[in-house]
Amino acid sequence: MSIETRVPDQLRKNVLGVVHIVFFVIAAAAPLTAVVGVTPAAFAYGNGPGVPGTFVVVGILYLLFSAGFTTMTRFVSGVGGFYPYISAGLGRPLGVAGALIALATYNAIDVAVLGLFGFFVSELVKAHGGPDIAWWIYAFGLGGTVFVCGVRNIEFSGTVLGYCMVAEISILLLLAFSILLTGGIAHPVTFAPFGAHAVFSDGFGVALVFVASAFIGFEATAIFGEEAREPQRTIPRATYIAVVLIALFYAFVTWTISLYYGPASIQEHAGKNVATLYIDAVKVLLGDGAGLVMNLLLIASMFACALSFHNTINRYFFAIGREGLAWSGFARTHRDHQSPQTAGAVQTAIALGTVALFALGGADPYGVVFAWMGAFSSLGILAVQVLVSLAVVVYFSRDARGVGLWNRLVAPGLSAAGLGGCLVLMSMKLNLVSGSESRLIDAFPALLALIGIAGVCLAIWVKLRKPNVYANLGRAFQ
C-alpha cells in the first residue's frame, strides 16, 4: 500500500472510476427492488399503461438537473454530497440545512431497506417451510453485514455492488426478452405506452410521484468526489450514464410487463397483484425455479441498496465531522482501508436502534417501517434536489465563469420547477406513497422543514461561536 493511502483521517484518493461510481448509483437505485416494489403501485394508482413513458419524462427531468449539477462540479466538489453545492450557491446556513435534511433522508432510506429486507426474508423462509423468525432479526443481520463490508476499502464495496447489479438486471432483462419473444403473450407489441395520450392521462401526477422515487440514489455521484479519479470528468460522466441507464432500463422493463398483461389491462392486474405482478409473470414464462431465483436476487438487491446508502451516509457524517459541524470523531478513518469506520459504526447504531424501536412498538415491517420511511426519504431527497437546482442558478448568476446559458440557467431552472412540482405532488399524495392515512404521515413536510430550520440555526450558532469554522463550511473541498 502506498504512503498516500495511509494518511490518517482521509479517504482514499484516485481510486474510483466511472464504472465503480455507476455501480454505486444503480445499486442505490436498486433496480429489482424498484421495479418489483414501486412500479406496480405506479401502474395501479397512476396512469396505468403510461408508466413506461413516465420514466422517460422523469429521466429527461433528471438530465436537466444533471446539466446544471455536473457543470457546477467543475468548480465545487467534495465528499459531502450536495452540501458543498448548496453552500456555494445559497449560502452556508442553507447548505447546513440541506446537509441535515440529506442525513435524515438517507438514514430513513436505510431503515426502510432494513425493514423491507426483514419482512421479505422472513416471509420467504416461512413460505419454504423454514422457522418463523422475527423480521427484525434478519434486519439486524443485514445491518451487521453491511457494516463489515463498509469498513473495507471503497473498491471492495464497488465490486460487490457490481456483481449484485448485474445479477438483478439480468433476471429482469430475461423476463423482458421472454415477453417480447412470445409477442407479449396474447397481446401485440405496441409503443402506445410511450405516447402522450397514455403518459399524460388521468393519474399522471400520481405516477410521477412513484416514478421519481424510483430514481433515488442517482445523486450519489456527488458523494465520491474526493475518492474519484479526475472528479471533474468522472462525476459528470457517471451522473449522465447513471440517469440514462436507469431511465431506459425502467422504461423498457415496465413497457414489456405492460405488454404481457396488455396495456388495457395492466392497471387492473397491478391493482389486484401489487406484490406479485412481476414474479407471477416470471413463473409463467420461466418456471417456478426462476421465480425463486428472482426472490433470492431481490434479497441481493436490498443488500446492495443498503450497502450503497451506508457508504453515502458515512461520507455525509465524515464531511460534517471534518468541517467541525459535528463531532470530529466522524472524520476518523480505518488505518488500512481508509474508510470512515467511526461514521459507519454510528450510522449502523442509529439504523439498528431505529429498527429496534419499531420492533418494540410492534410496527409492521412493510406497512409502517418500509412504507413510512420510504415516503419520508422520497420527500426529503426531492427537497434537497430542488435546493441544488436553485443553488446552481444563484451560483452562476454571481459569476458565469464562462458557462453557457443552458447549463447555468435554463436547465437548472427547468429542473427546479419540475422537481418542485414533484415535491408538491408528493406532499399532496403522501397517503398513496406511504399506503397510510396516519396524521403522522401528513406531518412529514413540516418535519423536514423543522430539520432544515435546525440546520440554519446550527450554522448561525457556529458563525457566532466558531467563526473560523464557519468561514470554511462547504469550502474545505473546493
> Which CATH number goes with the domain that contains 145?
1.20.1740.10
d(CA 224, CA 247): 22
Reported pTM: 0.87
**Alpha-helical runs (H) found in 13-82:** 18-29, 31-37, 39-45, 51-72
Residue 420 CB neighbours (<10 A) = 16
Q: What is the pLDDT along the chain (478 residues), one digit of tens a residue?
A: 333 444 445 555 655 667 767 776 776 667 888 888 789 988 998 899 999 999 999 999 999 999 998 898 888 865 557 888 999 999 999 999 998 998 999 899 899 999 989 998 998 899 888 998 999 999 999 999 999 887 876 667 667 777 777 888 888 999 999 988 875 555 678 898 999 999 998 888 888 888 888 887 776 676 666 666 666 777 788 888 888 988 999 999 999 999 999 998 999 999 888 778 898 899 888 888 888 888 888 888 888 888 878 888 888 888 788 877 777 778 787 677 667 888 889 999 999 999 999 999 999 998 899 889 988 998 998 999 999 999 999 999 999 999 999 999 999 999 999 999 989 988 988 888 787 888 889 999 999 999 999 999 999 999 999 898 888 786 544 4
Cα 229 from chain centroid (whole Å): 23
In a domain, 478, yes or no: no
Contact call for residues 136 and 354 (beta carbons, < 8 A): no
Please give the pLDDT value at position 224. Answer: 65
User: Rounded CA gap, 52 and 58, in Å?
Assistant: 10
Q: How far apart are CA 39 and CA 159, in angstroms?
A: 27
Domain span holding position 377: 4-470
Cα separation, 40 vs 59, whole angstroms = 19
Residue 417 resides in a domain = yes
**476 in any annotated domain:** no
* d(C-alpha 257, C-alpha 267), whole Å: 11
Helix (H, G, I), strand (E, B) or coil at 303: helix
Helix count (H) and strand count (E) of the chain? Answer: 22, 0
How far apart, in Å, are the Cα atoms of 473 and each of 85, 200, 396?
Answer: 11, 43, 19
Q: How far apart are CA 24 and CA 33, in angstroms?
A: 15
Number of neighbouring beta carbons within 10 Å of residue 224: 27
Q: Is residue 188 in a domain?
A: yes
Residue 475 lies in a domain: no
CA distance 441 to 437: 7
Quick one: pLDDT at residue 2? 38
pLDDT at 4: 41
Q: Which of 318, 369, 252 is nearest to 99 (CA)?
A: 318
In a domain? residue 49: yes
Identify whether 357 is part of a domain. yes
Q: Is the Cβ–Cβ distance between 317 and 150 less than 8 Å? A: no
Pair 143, 355: CB distance under 8 Å: yes
In contact, 42 and 199? CB cutoff 8 Å = no
Nearest CA-CA partner of 422 in 46, 34, 24, 32: 46
Distance CA 148, CA 385 (A): 30
Task: For the chain, give percent helix, strand, coil, nearest 5.
Answer: 75, 0, 25
The amino acid at 75:
F
Q: Is residue 410 included in any domain, yes or no?
A: yes
CA-CA distance, 156 to 9, in Å (whole number)? Answer: 19
- DSSP state, residue 324: T
**pLDDT confidence of residue 208:** 86
Number of folded domains that form the chain: 1
**Residue 207: burial class (beta carbons within 10 Å; 0-12, 13-18, 19+):** buried
